[in-house]
Amino acid sequence: MLIRRPSDIPSSEITEKNVYLHRREFLRTIAGTALATTAGTLFTEPLLRAQQPAPHGRKLTTRPSRLSTDERPNSWDHITTFNNFYEFGTEVHEPAIHARDFKPEPWSVTIEGECAKTGRLNLEDVLRGETLEDRIYRHRCVEAWSMVIPWVGFPLSRLIAKCEPTSKAKFVVMTTLYDPTRMPGQKVPVVPWPYVEGLRMDEAMHPLTILAVGLYGEVLPNQNGAPLRLVVPWKYGFKSVKSIVKVAFVEREPINTWKRVASNEYGFYANVNPAVDHPRWSQATERRLPSLFKTRKTLPFNGYGDQVAGMYAGMDPKRLY
């Protein structure tokens, strides 16, 4: 089972702690609302930020990975209050607020397409037999900011092996949940829903490519793509699709959501590439949050070139954006 309760704490105490946390949140909300009303909309944003929960304490059993970077991870606070997750709002502070009541359980993943084991897998079946690893990865957004994030997950290749893809399976397509009642951002057609992303089969099978279920050794917060999300550290963040409900094996290159929205700005490969600018900004440098300054030199393949560049030998580097 995923959730390990520390044995030295009686369950009664955990309940008390939850109540206690709820009370604080409640008081903060009341105080926040009162202050916000007085101060007007000008000052509400910092107050809403101040309401964000601390780590929730639902621990996962993990083991370290040699694929982790030794760079210092960003804080829990920054990773969980600065999210591009349009399903819960298009502004980066919104998912932390609007995803709070999202229930990522029960959860199942539909497997379809060119594979032997089509059907539905409960999240428990997806995780059965998997050893969860701490994978501390650099995360580079296409919008020229970056973080270091201590994910918890397991290789996507493990799930793919369970599905037994056929020789026709050249690409894997992953789809986010579509449910506007639970994901209020989907009530607005800012992008065509549901969100779809894909990988070439060799990319999907690469040991760096993981399905993440946790952060900082704890169960993944909703705003970060709970309960199951992709992480592909050498590609821009938008490739790492969140809250996955469908995995499909296909023969032809799929059209991912952002490519569909603006194919001149976002490609299929979306490999981090300092040499190819986004039409609206340079990708040569990035700001490592929470730095104020865009000083950090962006590395090809986000610094994972040694492990992944071989997959793209012979390809026009201009396509790799």
Partner 1 sequence: MTAHQTIRWVIKPTVFVTALVPAAVLLNRLVSGNLGADPLGEITNTTGLWTLRFVSVTLAITPVRRLTGWNAAIRFRRMIGLFAFFYGSLHLAVFVVADRLAALGFPDPFAWRTMHDLAASIGNEVFNRPYITVGFTSWLLMAALAVTSPASMIRRLGGKRWRAVHRTVYVAAVAGVVHYWWSVKADVRAPRAYAGVITALLAFRLVVWMLPRVRPSRASVSPAATMLPVQSLRRGSSR
| Among residues 23, 168, 295, 319, the one that binds partner 1 under rule CB under 8 A | 295
DSSP 265-277: T--SS-B--TTS-
The set of residues, in sequence order, having a beta carbon less than 8 Å from that of 29 and lying 6+ positions away, is 51
**Part in contact with partner 1 (CB under 8 A); list of ranges 26-34, 59-67, 161-169, 287-295:** 287-295
Binding of partner 1 at residue 294 (CB under 8 A)? yes
Task: Report the residue number, 45 or 105, with the smaller CB distance to partner 1.
Answer: 45
Q: How far is the CB of 56 from partner 1 (least distance, A)?
A: 19
# residues near partner 1 by CB under 8 A? 36
- What DSSP element (H or E) covers 202? helix 201-205
Binding of partner 1 at residue 263 (CB under 8 A)? no
Task: Report the residue number, 146 or 209, with the smaller CB distance to partner 1.
Answer: 146
The footprint of partner 1 on residues 206-235 (CB under 8 A) is none
Binding of partner 1 at residue 186 (CB under 8 A)? no
- Alpha-carbon gap, residue 282 to 143, rounded angstroms: 9
The footprint of partner 1 on residues 51-90 (CB under 8 A) is 74, 77-79, 81-82, 86, 90
Binding of partner 1 at residue 290 (CB under 8 A)? yes
Q: How far is the CB of 284 from partner 1 (least distance, A)?
A: 7
* Cβ neighbours of 52 (radius 10 Å): 18
DSSP 67-131: TS--SPPPPHHHHHHS---GGG-SSTTHHHHHTTT----S-EEEEEESBS--EEEEHHHHHTTPP
- Residue whose pair of structure tokens reads 């369970």 in the numeric block: 162
Task: Report the residue number, 123 or 184, with the smaller CB distance to partner 1.
Answer: 184
| Among residues 49, 58, 158, 200, the one that binds partner 1 under rule CB under 8 A | 49
Q: What phi and psi, each to the nearest 5 degrees, are found at residue 297?
A: -70, 130
Q: Pairing between strand 171-176 and 244-250?
A: antiparallel
* Cβ neighbours of 296 (radius 10 Å): 15
- Alpha-carbon gap, residue 163 to 247, rounded angstroms: 10
Cβ atoms 246, 263 nearer than 8 A: no
Q: How far is the CB of 278 from partner 1 (least distance, A)?
A: 9
Q: How far is the CB of 179 from partner 1 (least distance, A)?
A: 20
| Among residues 145, 151, 171, 301, the one that binds partner 1 under rule CB under 8 A | 145
Binding of partner 1 at residue 162 (CB under 8 A)? no
Q: How far is the CB of 240 from partner 1 (least distance, A)?
A: 16
> Which positions touch partner 1 (CB under 8 A)?
42-43, 46, 49, 74, 77-79, 81-82, 86, 90, 92-93, 143, 145, 147, 188, 190-191, 261-262, 279-282, 284-285, 287, 289-295
